[in-house]
Amino acid sequence: MKLTPTILQLKFAKYFEHLYRNGILNRIMKRTSILFLCTLLLPVFLWTTPLPLTLDWSHWPTLPPAPGETQSHGLAGAFMGIHENVLIVAGGANFPDGPAWEGGGKVFHDAIYLFDIQEDKWIKNKLFHLDLATAYGLSLSSSKGVICLGGQRDNEVLDHVFLLNWDQELDELIQEPLPSLPIPLANLSGDILQEVIYIAGSDPDTGEKVFARLNLNDLNAGWQALPVWPGSARTHAVGVFQNNGETDCFYLFKGRFKAANKNTTSFLSDSWSYNPVRNEWSEIPMSESSDFPLAAGAGISLGANHILLLGGDSGLVFNQIEQLNARLDSNSDQPSILVQRDSLMKHHPGFSADIWSFHTITQSWTKLGDIPNAPPVTTQVLKLENKLVLASGEIAPCIRTPDIQILELKQARQFGQLNYWILALYLLLLVGIGIRFSRKQHSTEDFFKGGQRIPAWAAGLSIFGTQLSAITFMAVPAKTFATDWLYFFLMMTIIMVSPLVIRYFLPFYRRHNLTTAYEYLELRFNRWVRWSGSIMYIFLQLGRLGIVLLLPSLALSVVTGIDVEICILSMGLLSILYTVLGGIEAVIWTDVLQVIVLLGGALLSLVILYFHLDLHTIETAITDFGKTRIFDMSWSFWEPTFWVVIIGGLATNLISYGSDQTVIQRYLTTSDEQSAAKSIRIGAWMALPSTLIFFSLGTLLFVYYQSEPALLNPSLEKTDAVFPWFIVSSLPQGISGLLIAAIFAASMSSLDSSMNSVATVLTTDFYRKFRNKETEAFYLRLAKLFTVIIGIAGTGLALVMATWGISSLWDQFNMIVGLFAGGLGGVFLLGIFNPKANAGGALLGLLLSGLLQYVIKEHTPIHLLMYAFTGLTSSFLLGSLFSLLFKPDNQDASRYTFQQLKQTKP
C-alpha cells in the first residue's frame, strides 16, 4: 500500500523547512544542547549525605556460674580470646558473696569457660582451670591460641605468660608456658602484629615504664626492650595496632596511674603512637572532641585505618572513694567515712557508654554511638569476622555483668537503580565495540596488530590506559590521601624514559616487523632466551589477571553491595567477549573510551570536592599535615626519597615500555615507526595531567574526611576503597554510577590487554614456531581460543582467591616470578647495548639476577621501588660478565645491536 502524506504532515514539513532555512532550528538545537548539558551537570552542584552508620547489638548466652555457685556474677579482668571458633574466658575476679558495702570480698578465680560459637552454647561437659587464680592481665588472640600475660592474684602482681590452645581433635584445652614478662605487670596494654607481641605497662611501686616485644616464632630470643613512650607511666590504657597509611603502628591511648606516694590516681588524657620501622614515638594530637574517659576501657582496630574505643572511667567518683579510703586510717570518725564511701559505691553512676572511633590517617575523632544498658570496663573487645564481642566486665564498683554483648556495625549502601542502569549500559557499550570490530578480523595480523591501521593518538591513549589499572585508579588517590606527594616524580619518570624507548628500543620492534617483543631475543640470542622471556611474561600476566580482577571487586563490593563474585564474573566474561570478537582493535578502542571515562570521572570528582570544601579549610589541613610535601632529599635508599623515586621509576618504566609485550604490542598497531613514536609520546605525556588529577583528588579527599570524619565508613577493609566510598556515599545518583563504571573500565582495560597479549605470545612464540604450515584462518581461531582460555583462567583464579582467601599464597607466587621481571628488562638492555653478549651469558645473568633479588629482598631494608633497578642492572652486568665465558651465538646476532642500528637507515 502506498503511503501519502496528510495535509497536516505537509504543513509540519514546510514549517520545519522554514525554521531550518532561517537558522532558527539551529539556534533551538544549540540552546537545547546547552539545556541538556546543564541538566547533566546539575548533579555536580548537589551533594548526597551518606546514610548513617547503625550499631546493631545482640547477645550470646550469658556467662555460666562459677563452679560451686548457683548464679553467674560475671567477671572483671578475665583473660579472653577466640581460638578455633571457641570463645575462651579464663580467670577474672568478682564479689560472689555480695558487694563490699554488704561485707563481701573480692575473689580471684581460676575457672576457664568455653563457648562454642558455631553451636551457640557453652561447653559444660568439661571443666578446665588455670594453674593460678589470676585477673587483670592482658590476653591476645593469635593463630596459635589465646596468649595470657601478667595479671595479679590478690595483692601479688605476676610476670607469667602462657598460651591457651583449644585442640578440637583432642577436645582439650592445652596450657603452654611462654617466656615471662621483663617485670611483673598487671593492667597492662598490648597487641599482636604478625606473631610478634608488643606490651606496654608500668610498675605502680616504682613508676618504671616497660615497652617490649616477643616474637612467637623465635621464643629463644626472649623479650626485647624497646624505647618507652615519652609520657607518664600508666596502667589501664588501651593498646592497639593499626595502619597509619604507611605502616602498622602501635597506639597507646590514655589510661591512669597511681604513684606509690599518692592518695589519688591520675587519669591521663595523652595518647601516643609507636612506629616500629622508625623505632620512635610520636604524640597523637588531642582536641575537644577527644576529651572523653577511657581508663579501663576497651579498644580494637577496625577496617583499614580506624580504631574503636569503648567505655572507660572518668575517675571522678573513683578518686573520691580513694580519698575516703585514705582518711579511714587517719580519722577517728571511721563510721561516718565508711557511710560516705559505701554510698558513693552503692550509687555509682556507672561508666562511660561512649563508643569513639579514631582514624589514624586524618587523626580525627568521631563518636559512633553508645553501649546499651550498663557499659562494662576491665574487659576486652574481640573481633569475630564482621562482629565485635564484648564479654562480661565490671559495670559498677563490686558489680560484674555476665552478659556477652555482640556489636555489628552496619553501613547502609546507596547504589541505586539509576546507577545500575548506567553501569549496565556502559558494559553493553563495550560489547558493542567488540561486535563493531569483529567484522575486520580476518587474520592474526588483524587480531594481534589491528592491521596496523590504529591512529597514533588512539594507540597512545591505549598505552596509557593499559598501564592505568583499576588498582591504580583507586590506589593513587588513596596514597596521597594517606601520605603526601613524594611519589609524584615516580609518575613523571615515564616522560623521562619515553625518548630512550623511542631512540633505542622502538626501531628493533618496527624495522624487523616483529609481533612479540620476545622475537627480538631470538634474533639477538637464540630460541631458549626467547622462550624464557615469553614464559616469564605469561606467568606474570596470569598473576596480574587474578589480582586486577579481585582487588577492585573487593573494594566495589564493600561500597556498592554488589557481590564480589558478580563483579569478577561481569568484568571477566565481558572482557573475554569483546576481546575475542574484536581483537587488539577492540581492545584499543575500548581503552580509548575507558581512559576518557576514567579521567573524566576523576576530574569531575575533583571539581565537586573543590567546590564543596571551604578554601580556608583546604589550606589549613594541607599546611598542618604537610600533605603537599614533594621532595625528600635525604640520602636514604630505605625510604621513598627523591632519589629512590627517580631511580626506581626510571628502571620500572624502562622495563615496562621497553620489554613488556602488553605495551609493545601497541607500538606495532600503527602504520609506521613515526606514528608509533608519537603514540609513545602521547601515552607518556598523559601521565602529567592524570597524576595532577589523581594526586589532587587524594589530597582533597583527606581534607574532606578530616573535616567530616563521621562520613568515612569505619568498616572499609582497604585504604584503597576510600575513593570508591566517596563516590557512592557523597555523589548523586547517575554521577556515582558513571564513576563506578570508570573503575570497572580500568579493570577491564588491564584485563583485555593481558588476554590479547598473552594469546599473541602463545600463538607466535610457541605454537607457530613448531607448526608454521597451518592456514591463517586456523591461527586466528587458535588465537581466539587462547584468549578465551586465558580469560577464563584469570577469572577463575580471581573467584578462587575471593572464595578461599588464598591471596597471600598467590602474592608469594607473584613475588617469586616478579623477582625476575627486572632481570628480563636487563636481558633486553644486554642485547641492545652489548655486542659481545651471548645467549649463555644472558640466561645465566637472568638466573643469578633473580637469586640476587631474593637476597636483597629478604636481607636488606632497601625500598621496594629499587627492586626494578637492582634487577635491571644486575642482569645486565652479570650477563655481560658471564658472556665472556661463552662463545658468540652467530655472526648475524651483532646486526641486532644498537651499534649496528646506527649504521642503517629507517
Cell digits of residue 803: 572464595
Confidence (pLDDT) at 158: 95
Least confident of 196-205, 277-286, 860-869, 886-895: 886-895
Encode 155-177: b = buried (16+ Cβ within 10 Å), e = exposed: eebbebbbbbbbeeeeeebebee
Rounded distance between C-alpha atoms, residue 900 and residue 906, angstroms? 12
pLDDT higher than 90, residue 26: no
Query: What tens digit of pLDDT does each residue of 469-494 get?
Result: 777 778 889 889 998 898 899 889 99
pLDDT over 70 percentage in the chain: 91
Rounded distance between C-alpha atoms, residue 817 and residue 794, angstroms? 16
Mean pLDDT of all residues belonging to the chain: 85
Query: What tens digit of pLDDT does each residue of 682-732 get?
Result: 999 999 999 999 999 999 999 999 998 988 888 888 888 898 888 888 888
Secondary structure of 767-800 in HEC code, one letter for each residue = HHHHCCCCCHHHHHHHHHHHHHHHHHHHHHHHHH
Which residue has cell 573467584? Answer: 799
Q: Is 145 helix (H, G, I), strand (E, B) or coil?
A: strand
Cell digits of residue 512: 624487523
- For the segment 873-878, the average pLDDT, to the nearest whole number, is 93
Which residue has cell 637507515? Answer: 905
Query: What tens digit of pLDDT does each residue of 333-387 get?
Result: 677 888 888 888 888 888 999 999 999 999 999 999 999 888 999 999 999 988 9
Rounded distance between C-alpha atoms, residue 460 and residue 663, angstroms? 10
Query: What tens digit of pLDDT does each residue of 226-262 get?
Result: 999 998 999 999 999 999 888 899 999 999 998 877 7
Angle between helices 564-612 and 417-438 (to 10 degrees): 110
CB 656, CB 466: distance < 8 Å: no
By DSSP bridging, strand 172-178 and strand 189-193 are unpaired
Query: What tens digit of pLDDT does each residue of 533-549 get?
Result: 898 888 888 877 887 78
CB 403, CB 717: distance < 8 Å: no
Rounded distance between C-alpha atoms, residue 173 and residue 165, angstroms? 6
Confidence (pLDDT) at 353: 92
- Region at 3 (left for phi over 0; alpha for psi -120 to 50; beta for the rest): beta
Confidence (pLDDT) at 332: 58
Confidence (pLDDT) at 110: 92
Which residue has cell 532550528? Answer: 25
- For the segment 10-38, the average pLDDT, to the nearest whole number, is 46
CB 564, CB 554: distance < 8 Å: yes
Query: What tens digit of pLDDT does each residue of 102-114 get?
Result: 888 899 999 999 9
pLDDT over 90 percentage in the chain: 36
Query: What tens digit of pLDDT does each residue of 154-194 get?
Result: 889 999 999 999 888 888 899 999 999 999 999 999 999 98
Rounded distance between C-alpha atoms, residue 359 and residue 613, angstroms? 20
pLDDT higher than 80, residue 862: yes
- For the segment 803-818, the average pLDDT, to the nearest whole number, is 52
pLDDT band at 419 (very low <50, low <70, confident <90, very high): confident
Confidence (pLDDT) at 31: 45
Angle between helices 687-707 and 470-482 (to 10 degrees): 50
pLDDT band at 414 (very low <50, low <70, confident <90, very high): low
Question: Which of the 8 DSSP states describes residue 231?
Answer: S
Encode 118-149: b = buried (16+ Cβ within 10 Å), e = exposed: eeeebbeeeebebeebbbbbbbbbeebbbbbb
pLDDT higher than 50, residue 305: yes
pLDDT higher than 80, residue 650: yes
Rounded distance between C-alpha atoms, residue 463 and residue 594, angstroms? 12
Rounded distance between C-alpha atoms, residue 115 and residue 128, angstroms? 13
Structure-model confidence comparison of residues 904 and 341, the more confident one? 341
Cα–chain-centroid distance for residue 733? 26
pLDDT higher than 50, residue 33: no
For 158, residues 6+ apart whose C-beta sits below 8 A from its C-beta are 132, 134, 137, 150, 151, 152, 184, 186
Rounded distance between C-alpha atoms, residue 265 and residue 843, angstroms? 70
- For the segment 577-596, the average pLDDT, to the nearest whole number, is 86
Least confident of 321-325, 391-395, 807-811, 882-886: 807-811
Question: Which of the 8 DSSP states describes residue 765?
Answer: I
For 326, residues 6+ apart whose C-beta sits below 8 A from its C-beta are 263
- DSSP characters over 199-211: EEEE-TTT--EEE
Backbone angles phi, psi at 447, to 5 degrees: -70, -35
Rounded distance between C-alpha atoms, residue 547 and residue 797, angstroms? 9
pLDDT band at 430 (very low <50, low <70, confident <90, very high): confident
pTM for this predicted structure: 0.85
pLDDT higher than 90, residue 877: yes
Confidence (pLDDT) at 50: 61
Structure-model confidence comparison of residues 61 and 819, the more confident one? 61
- For the segment 447-468, the average pLDDT, to the nearest whole number, is 87
